[in-house]
Structure formats: structure tokens, C-alpha cells
A and B are shown apart, each in its own frame.
Chain A
Amino acid sequence: MSAITTPAPATTDLRPGAEVILQALKEQGVEVIFGYPGGSVLPIYDALFQQNAIRHILVRHEQAAVHAAEGYARSTGKVGVVLVTSGPGATNAVTGLVDALLDSIPLVCLTGQVPTHLIGNDAFQEADTTGITRPATKHNYLVKRSEDLSRTVHEAFHVARSGRPGPVVIDLPKDILIKPAPYTEAPPASVPHRSYRPQVEPDAARIKEAVALLKGAKRPVIYAGGGVINAGPEASRLLGEFTHMTGMPCTNTLMGLGAFPASDPHFLGMLGMHGTVEANLAMHGCDVMLNIGARFDDRVTGRLDKFSPDSKKIHADIDPSSINKNVKVDVAIVGDAGRTLAALIEAWKADSAAQDKEALAGWWQQIKEWRAKDCLAYKQQGPIIKPQHAVKRLFEITREMGRETIISTEVGQHQMWAAQYFGFDKPNRWLTSGGLGTMGYGLPAAMGAQIANPDALCIDIAGEASILMNIQEMGTLAQYRLPVKVFILNNEYMGMVRQWQELLHGGRYSESYSAALPDFVKLAESFHAKGLRAENADQLDSVIREMIAHPGPVIADILVAKDENCFPMIPSGAAHNEMILGPDQEGNARSVTDEGKVLV
């Protein structure tokens, strides 16, 4: 039995399944596929060979194909498309799929499968792909009838991009790719799906309640996340408009960076485990919180029973299951972030109640005092490059040059420094693995972003450990002449692991040292790229400028201080007002409780 049963169409125009798939992809507006061939998908590769409308990017590992499609999707707002073979092709893609699931990235991943008559026989390169990917995707399909093929592709795109976006797998047995199949056009948007109908329009009554709470707020804060970015650039514009018309402070999650301009005085910086003092204390001390498109992730809330104890909470999310999952809220709004913001703006104007401007001014005064702590301050002294300084200079130099810049990251300390010191004024310029925390994400993501934005400056801010997890994609950069820049903050440690070992495990640096590293300059050269190295602070700017000026791919190996920690930090099991500050700060450092050590 198949997921979708389509009545046989009147037309007798039948073509091989593989061609029907490509036609459906074209109708869905697909221009690029990231993939890797193999036995079971050869018919699709044969069909790709005989057309020019869809470009195929050959990656070096299927995980990278998915991350590249994520980078493509996040930098454009379009659905990313992946094509991999059965068995190991599909299992290699799983990490990328879960990554996209946790970060709500719209993807369609076509996986090959052994022919229908061999399914379940432990055939060569057979894996139970729909079984394996069921909890790794928003939805998945196994197509067993040719007449279901094109309808399934259309539905997969609809599911991937609508509601809370996510990855969708279509498993395609090889005989289905070869057998003649009919083509069905995508149904018009006015035809609703039989069972899947996400709520997009917010409920007017809830919007009114939210505005009433916000109007009466004395210490409000807006906490905006990736949902605003997923709702499209207009949602980010509306977030700015709402924040300014209400005069409220705004903080972004890691996923939401760029939804609100970092250079705006209303911006408090990122919140959460490595967020700013002013953002976290505003969250802790607010009396009304408006969460829009964020999900009260554990990295944001810290200790739940001490999270923002005195506030009324409004939560707007497209996914009803995100509401009241971790934090009980007072007003729940289900809907698209953009539509919700538009409705809030309208209701705010229509509401005649006056804001307590005096209280708001007092709240800003308090925020100013927290800001004065300058929690991200560091001292760059002597020849050793501080990693924070490297990111800050990269940001300043790219800003001076005024080029469209897209930043991806790997996972670890460098990722947090990038989030803290690189300011994003627009959405879709920041690509990071927030939910899953996938090392090896950044290089392929930058690759995908570069494909989608050929004129943009795409930089992967990396660590020397993470970059090795998908380093093979340097080959893809060379093949397609993609001028991606890999900016490695090389401290010879898995820095975040080392930091936790220092803070939680008595400085026993178990297996966190990056031994036997390659020479990254030679490595770059062997992949037909340029290799650069900065060993001391004097060389930093010139290396950054040379990296940017070079027309092709570059690895810049930036040797940074080995023992630098990432601060501020809310230790596991602590609350927002229990941050550890940097060594140069007057802090309230505390040790981690046993309860906290259990947490990751």
C-alpha cells in the first residue's frame, strides 16, 4: 500500500519514472540538486544527463549533500533538494536530515531503493530507509506505484515548505524509476491536503490578549527566533517595525540572528547559554515576554524552574507542539511569524490603551546598566591572537568592504564566538547548526549558500576539529570553482569540550586535544585552493584581506589562544541570573552543581 493513491489519469502520456520525477522537480521550481550517484538512482542520473534545466552538484559525501541543501535553503528561503542512492547513501544522509529537522529547514531528499520485489530481502545496498528516517524527517514516503510518483513529489514539497518547515524523504525503488509513469501536475494551492493543514493565520482573540498584556508591560522583552527567519524577510521587517513602534528591547536566539538588526540600539544581543548579560537579565527580569518563533530550547532557558520567574509569557509559534512544551505560557498564538507580527502591529494601533512610557524608560535605564558591563569585552594583548578578536576583525573588515556576506559555522566555541562577535543586520546570512549541533555542517552549508548566491562572500567560520569532519568537500569547491572561505580558529582543541572539561571535570582533558593535525595550508593547496596562515596578531588583518581578495576557495588557518573560554556562560543547571563572566570581568562565577553536570 502506498502513501498516496492517485486515480489513473485520463492521459496516456507515459514516461520513465525518473523523467517524471525531474518534470515534477521542475514544476516545483527546482534549479539545483545536491547529490551523489549509486546503483539504485542511476535512472535519475541518466535523466539528469539528458537535460539542462536542473543543475546537479556532485558532493563528496552524502551528509554534505544534505548540509549543502540546508545552506542553499537557509540562504534563499527555497526548498533544498538532495539525491542519494539506497543503503549507505541514505544512511549517510541521516545526520543531515535530523539537522534539518531540528532547525526546521525545508528539504526534499530523494533516496534510491532496491526494486520493489527485492524490498525486505536484505538485497545489496538495501536499508529500511523509511523506517530509519521516520523520526529523522517531518514526513517520508515510499513510492510503490508509478501512478503515485509525481503526486508524491508535489506533496513532499508542500509538506517541506509549509507550516513548520522540515526535511521530507521520498524513497524510490529502482523499478519505479524505470517503469513508464503518468504525470500529474501539482494541485492548486486552493486544494487542501486531506489531513495536513497547518494553521497559518493567528487567532484574533489571542492577538488582542497579547496586545493588552504588552501595552500594560513595565518591563517587556521580545524574544525572537528562527521562526521569524523561516517566515521570510518580510517577517524580519515586521519584527523591526513592531519593536520600534513599541519601543521594546529585542533579543534573538542563535537561530534567529539576523531577524533583528544587530546594529539596532534596541537589540540586546543573543540570549541563552552564551548570550549577553543584558539579554539574559532582561529575560530574567521582564514582566511580559513576547516569544515569537522560538521554542524555549534548553540552551535558551537554562534552569526551567528559575526561568523568567515573574513574567507573563506570550508565545507565538507555527507549531502547536512547541507551545507549553517546556515552559507554560499565558497566551498561546498559533500561526506564521510574519502574519502574527502583522496582526500584532494592527492590533497595537487599534488598541487605545496607553503604554507606561515612564516604566519603559526605567527598564531601558536598567538595561543600559547591564550593557555597561560590556560582557563581551576581551583584551587583545601581545602576539597571540584571541579567537574573539579574529572573529571581530573578520566582521569589521567584511563590513568595511560592504560585500554581501553569508557566514556558516561548524559547532563549538568558534560557533559561539561567531554568534557573539559577528553582527547580522539581515536574515538568511547566518547558517549554523543550532538544534542538532552537527560538527562538519559549516563547509557544506557554505558551499550550498555559495551555489545559491554566486556573488556573495561565503565564509565558514570553523574550528580545526570540526572542519575535518567534512573536509572532503574541498574537492567540491574546486570542481565547481566555489570561492568559499574557510576561516579556522585553530586552538588545537575541541574547544568547547575542553572548556567543559576545565569547568566541570577538574581540567582532565580527556581526548579533547587535536593531535596530528594536517598542515591546513598544504591541505588547501592539495585541493587546488589557496592556503593562508596567521600565527600572530600582526598578520591577522592581512590574512583576512588576502583571503577575501582571492577569487577562489581559501583555507585561512588562524592560530589562536589555546585556552580561551567562551563567556558569558550560563552553566548547566543554572538560571539566567547566574552567569559566569569572563576572567577580565567582575563576575558571579559559581561552580556547577551535580544536578547540572547531568545536563549537556
Chain B
Amino acid sequence: MSETNQRSATIAVLVENEAGVLARVIGLFSGRGYNIDSLTVAPVDETGRISRITVVTSGTEMVIEQIKAQLDRLVPVHKVSDLSLEGPHLTRELALIKVVAQGDDRVEALRLADAFRARVVDATTESFVFEMTGNAEKIDAFCALMRPIGLAEVSRTGAVAIARGTRHIAA
């Protein structure tokens, strides 16, 4: 294939909230050898019938077109939207980050957390749990800084994304 340029794509998929729908999406990626960099899912409408899957993937333009077409032909899929292509969008991820430290390191941890706008959601005399939201790079940077201080555990949601402005997608 002539195209070799890879790009990252953030794809929003609105699906019928039914048993097995996540397995269909994940199976599609593994079965066809596509990358999943991150994947999140939760119901998003008031009745709980529609779920939104946000998947961050990468590949050549041809592969990303394939991923979208393959997702779109799954029976319970309502809508597939390539946020990276369709205009400016926001991406956010939530992380809970546990740091175990004593003495001056605790002060340093709090100072950095302040700079990154991370909130302390749990504290003991030997530990903190920070909550932060941001894009993946911001969370990566925070974790990197915490590593020498005493980064013990990280839990991340993966990316959720939405278009800026009035553009919106509906099932």
C-alpha cells in the first residue's frame, strides 16, 4: 500500500446499550489487527439505552477509514464520528494517582499537584491520592514528576472527547 503515514484518531461511537456490544467492538479491533490506544464506555442518554464509546486508535488513513466503516456496519452501532477529522475537539482523561512519600517529598508532591491542578482526594501520613483531569500528555507528565517522589499506583479512565462549539452527534 502506498500510504504509510500514520495518524491518531479519536472516534466516538454511539451504540445500543445491549449485552455484548463492547465485545463486538473490541473483537473487531483484535480480529482485524487494529490498534486500541484507549477505550472508554458509559451510557449517555437519560433512558440508558445509548452508550458512547470513545476509542483512540492509530493507523494509516486507509486503515482508519476501514475502522470507521467496520464499526458502522455493526448492527447495534448508531453513529460513528471521527472527532479528529471533523474539527476542533476536547479530549479529557481522569486519573487517580497514589503517591507514597515521607518528609520533604510530601511537600514537593503537594506543590507539584497544585501546579498541575490535581486535587488531593485521600491522604494518610504516608500517602496521597491525587485526582486530575487533562489530556493524556498532562497526566503522563505529572506521573513522570511523581515517579522519583514515590509514585505507587496509577488508575486512568482513558480518553473521552467531544467536539467544540455547537456541533454535536446524536443517535
Contact = CB atoms under 8 A, between A and B. Distances in A.
Interface of A: 1-4, 130-131, 134-135, 138-140, 142, 159, 163-164, 193-196, 198, 304-305, 319-321, 323-325, 328
A135 B66 contact: no
Closest 9 CB pairs of A and B: A321-B69, A139-B75, A195-B78, A196-B75, A320-B69, A1-B19, A321-B70, A3-B18, A135-B31
Nearest to A319: B73
B24 A134 contact: yes
B18 A2 contact: yes
Contacts of A135: 27, 31
Given A131-B23, A195-B78, 11 more contacts: A4-B18, A130-B20, A134-B20, A134-B24, A142-B20, A195-B77, A320-B69, A320-B72, A321-B66, A321-B70, A325-B62
Contact of A195 (B16, B23, B62, B70): B16
A336 to B, nearest CB: 15
B134 interface: no
Interface of B: 1-2, 15-16, 18-20, 23-24, 27, 31, 62, 65-66, 69-70, 72-78, 171
Contacts, number: 60
A134 B27 contact: yes
A300 B152 CA distance: 55
Q: Chain A contact residues: over half helix, strand or loop, or mixed? A: loop
A1 B18 contact: yes
12 contacts: A2-B19, A130-B20, A134-B23, A139-B74, A159-B75, A193-B75, A194-B16, A195-B15, A195-B76, A195-B78, A324-B66, A328-B2
Nearest to A193: B75
A237 to B, nearest CB: 28
Contacts of A164: 73
A195 B27 contact: no
A328 B27 CA distance: 25
Contacts of A195: 15-16, 75-78, 171
A193 B73 CA distance: 13
A55 to B, nearest CB: 29
Nearest to A326: B1
A328 B60 CA distance: 13
Contacts of B2: 305, 328
B18 A324 contact: no
Nearest to A131: B23
Contacts of A304: 1
Contacts of A320: 69, 72-73
Contacts of A3: 18-20, 76
Give the one of B65, B72, B73 with max A CB within 10 A. Answer: B73
Contacts of A323: 69
Nearest to B62: A324
A324 B15 CA distance: 24
A134 B24 CA distance: 7
A138 B27 contact: no
B146 to A, nearest CB: 40
A131 B24 CA distance: 9
Contacts of A325: 62, 66, 69
Nearest to B66: A325
Contacts of B76: 3, 195-196
A321 B77 CA distance: 14
Nearest to A159: B75
Nearest to B79: A195
A252 B49 CA distance: 44
Nearest to A164: B73
Contacts of A198: 73
A1 B65 CA distance: 32
A138 B78 CA distance: 16
Give the one of B18, B31, B74 with max A CB within 10 A. Answer: B18
A187 to B, nearest CB: 15
A68 to B, nearest CB: 25
